């Protein structure tokens, strides 16, 4: 069973990073009592996309909640309350490609794409890493999974 993931985005507290996250929300985001963090709660088993900005570099991750050794190595990231299984790590210009892809994929329905199976996200990662994530390729992949519910046809 995959547990829900809480992402703590810095709000009033000075930290060496900023964080932006997208995923399938199950609760309204809220600010904690000290006004240090905004808490976003995402459904377990779904995919979340995390964008970190540090002083001199940026990173972005496509991840899901880690369950067992079959998921590979568990990874802990700042501001996340659970161990994660990383699907893709973006650096430099790839962060912009991922950001644009997430924007494209959430235009029709903000949450639908986060319910897609992991296979969709692995293929999207391939498009970003090796093919430049052209809009036509990303939308073709989206339509294929939307139409068939992620099953191979």
Per-residue pLDDT tens over the stretch 79-125: 999 899 999 999 999 999 999 999 999 999 999 999 999 999 999 99
Residue 18 in this model has a pLDDT that exceeds 60: yes
pLDDT at residue 66, rounded to an integer: 84
pLDDT at residue 68, rounded to an integer: 75
Q: Mapping DSSP to helix (H, G, I), strand (E, B) and coil, where does residue 87 land?
A: strand
The reported pTM is 0.89
Q: Give the separation between CA 17 and CA 56, rounded to whole angstroms.
A: 10
pLDDT at residue 152, rounded to an integer: 53
Q: What confidence category does residue 129 fall into, taking pLDDT thresholds of 50, 70 and 90?
A: very high
Residue 74 in this model has a pLDDT that exceeds 90: no
Contacts of 40 (CB under 8 A, 6+ apart): 6, 7, 8, 9, 21, 23, 25, 29
Q: Give the separation between CA 63 and CA 26, rounded to whole angstroms.
A: 17
């Amino acid at each position: 069973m995959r547990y829900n993931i809480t992402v703590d985005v810095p709000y009033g507290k000075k930290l060496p990073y900023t964080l932006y996250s997208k995923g399938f929300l199950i609760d309204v985001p809220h600010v904690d009592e000290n006004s240090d963090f905004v808490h976003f709660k995402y459904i377990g088993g779904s995919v979340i996309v995390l964008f970190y900005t540090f002083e001199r570099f940026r990173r972005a991750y496509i991840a899901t909640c880690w369950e067992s050794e079959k998921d590979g190595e568990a990874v802990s990231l700042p501001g996340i309350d659970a161990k994660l299984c990383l699907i893709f790590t973006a650096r430099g210009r790839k962060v912009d490609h991922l950001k644009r892809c997430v924007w494209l994929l959430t235009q029709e329905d903000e949450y639908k794409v986060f319910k897609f199976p992991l296979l969709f996200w692995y293929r999207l990662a391939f498009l970003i890493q090796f093919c430049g994530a052209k809009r036509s390729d990303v939308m073709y992949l989206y339509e294929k999974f939307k139409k068939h519910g992620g099953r191979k046809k």
